């Protein structure tokens, strides 16, 4: 009798769990299944100080993030989701001033202005500036560490934009 109850209960639990559908994603965003495409326009560098490769590297990092973390198809124009904007700030400033009035660290800061448009749900649209920085020792010349700093800052900016755009926690 106990075996029969166990089999019935096990069968019911198995049936119930099989009929429940749950969708979890730990790698990407929570995107409405109706959304199929995204267009990401080139981000021009409108900052006062221009770094020649920044626009290209930032735009490509943003495209790579959406391509690798979502199932959206990247299209040139007219996607269900659209991301556009510009690099509005690129600056280096001294931080951590020491007693002899010299900086122990310098800070590279990059700011981007982003316009996100969801053509299927306009309540999700936003325009916002995102800014990130990395510090480096003042004993190092910016040109020697610039590539690494830009890569790290771009990753952080792209993550912020991705989270704001499609991660609905």
Strand order across the beta sheet in which 73-74 lies: 73-74, 37-40, 81-97, 103-118, 126-137
* Interval 154-164: pLDDT, tens: 999 999 999 99
Task: Return the pLDDT at 167.
Answer: 83
User: Which domains are assigned to the chain?
Assistant: 30-166 (3.30.160.150)
**Average pLDDT per block of 10 residues along the chain, 169 residues long:** 55 48 44 89 95 96 94 93 97 79 84 96 94 92 93 97 83
C-alpha to C-alpha distances, 160 to 4, 29, 114, 120, 165, nearest whole angstrom: 54, 12, 11, 22, 9
Task: State how far the Cα of 44 lies from the Cα of 86, in Å rounded to an integer.
Answer: 5
* Interval 90-109: pLDDT, tens: 999 988 766 666 668 899 99
Which residue in 31, 67, 25 sits closest to 166, CA to CA? 31
């Amino acid at each position: 009798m106990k075996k029969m109850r166990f089999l019935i209960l096990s069968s019911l639990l198995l049936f119930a769990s099989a009929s429940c559908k749950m969708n979890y994603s730990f790698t990407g965003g929570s995107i409405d299944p109706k959304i199929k495409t995204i267009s990401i326009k080139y981000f021009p560098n409108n900052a006062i100080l221009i770094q020649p490769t920044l626009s290209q590297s930032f735009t490509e990092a943003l495209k790579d993030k959406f391509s690798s973390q979502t199932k959206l198809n990247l299209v040139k124009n007219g996607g269900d989701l659209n991301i556009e904007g510009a690099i509005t700030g690129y600056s280096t400033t001294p931080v951590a001033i020491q007693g002899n009035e010299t900086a122990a660290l310098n800070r590279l800061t990059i700011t981007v202005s982003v316009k996100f448009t969801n053509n299927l749900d306009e309540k999700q649209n936003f325009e916002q500036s995102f800014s990130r920085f990395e510090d480096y020792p003042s004993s190092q010349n910016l040109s020697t560490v610039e590539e690494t700093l830009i890569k790290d800052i771009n990753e952080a900016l792209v993550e912020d934009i991705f989270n704001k755009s499609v991660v609905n926690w």
